[in-house]
Amino acid sequence: MALPLPLDYPAMEAKLVSQLPEGPQWQYEPKWDGFRCLAFKDGDDIALRSKSGQPLERYFPEVVAAIAGLSAKQFVIDGELVIPIGNTLSFDDLLMRIHPAASRVTKLSREHPARYVVFDLLVDDKGDSLVDLPLVERKTHLAQFAERVLRQSPTFALSSITHQREQALAWLGSVLGVDGIVAKRVDLPYQSGSRTGMQKYKRIRTADCVVGGFRYGTNTKVVGSLLLGLYDDDGVLHHVGFTSNIPAGEREPLTRKLESLVKAPGFTGRAPGGPSRWSTERSGEWQPLATELVVEVQYDYWNGERCRHGTKFLRWRPEKSPRQCTMAQLNEESKAVASTSYS
């Protein structure tokens, strides 16, 4: 592509915080329950890239077609792919798109077409890069771009914005499909791959983890728990906990998938321990996996470089790269809640 930004241009990221920042230098947007996506258009060439740089075009053909139908010949936008179902957004329907069969993807795209919620303009329709401009100026350009270009298709919508912290927090209980709030510095340029100018606040504590292994259930050859891992700064994968609340209907097909991925060593750092006085020899055994699967879990608290107590399985994250699952996300959380008291 002849655009000033390459297809592997890393998206700006957000740091997890325990409370929203406030002040005139911040603006707030909903954290939509979808897939982060950069969209590139240069003439007839169109590309969709996930936050980890994975191509998404084949999974969202209706979005590619919508971009092709816009009058602008070139641009780069940043936003979130979402699928509305009724009055809310369905992450499960997004996951169903990550399917090897093109016919299945086409069928799903017709039944429940995705929408693209846009929150930044990185290259305008003249081919000019805007990434060095502060956010407040990029937002002005985006509003003008939306008026003359994005409004041509119902696939696109602009993300909501407020400068009032109280209003942003009110979205958490009133806007379906919002699983958090993102605070952005209005005075900073687009900081590719950095977490300096964006902070995200969630209602629950969650983490994206690599599935580094699994255990069979007691007296069965069906998966009982997934063993979770995170990478440290040196790229070493450490075991940090487990999750066992896998839906019953998914256990048998999941077992077959996991067995096809069995490969040593699984964890390259701290590994799961053997049987304890509370477990049997069978439940203490575990199977190492090739590091390909990413899962989002909810946890109570992070202490001693692991999630304490069991964690709750939330969903698979096929759009995320395992290498994005780092200790940093939970170490920041640990610092943020260190002074919090619980009754």
Residues assigned a catalytic role:
31
CA distance 50 to 10: 9
Nearest one of 241, 239, 215, 217 to 300, comparing CA atoms: 241
Backbone angles phi, psi at 38, to 5 degrees: -100, 130
d(CA 75, CA 29): 22
What does the alpha-carbon distance between residue 166 and residue 157 come to, in Å, rounded to a whole number?
Answer: 23
> Per the structure block, which two tokens stand in for 193?
């791959």
Long-range contacts of range 107-112, CB-CB < 8 Å, 24 or more positions apart?
109/60, 109/61, 109/62, 110/62, 112/83, 112/84, 112/85
Tokens of 206: 């969650």
Pure H helices in 192-313: 248-260, 281-284
Three-class SS of residue 124?
coil
Helix (H, G, I), strand (E, B) or coil at 149: coil
Cα–Cα distances in angstroms (integers) from residue 236 to residues 195, 231, 299, 342, in the given order: 22, 5, 22, 33
Return the SS3 of 154: coil
Q: How far apart are CA 81 and CA 342, in angstroms?
A: 37
Amino acid, single-letter form, for residue 34: G
| Rounded Cα distance, 10 and 54, in Å | 11
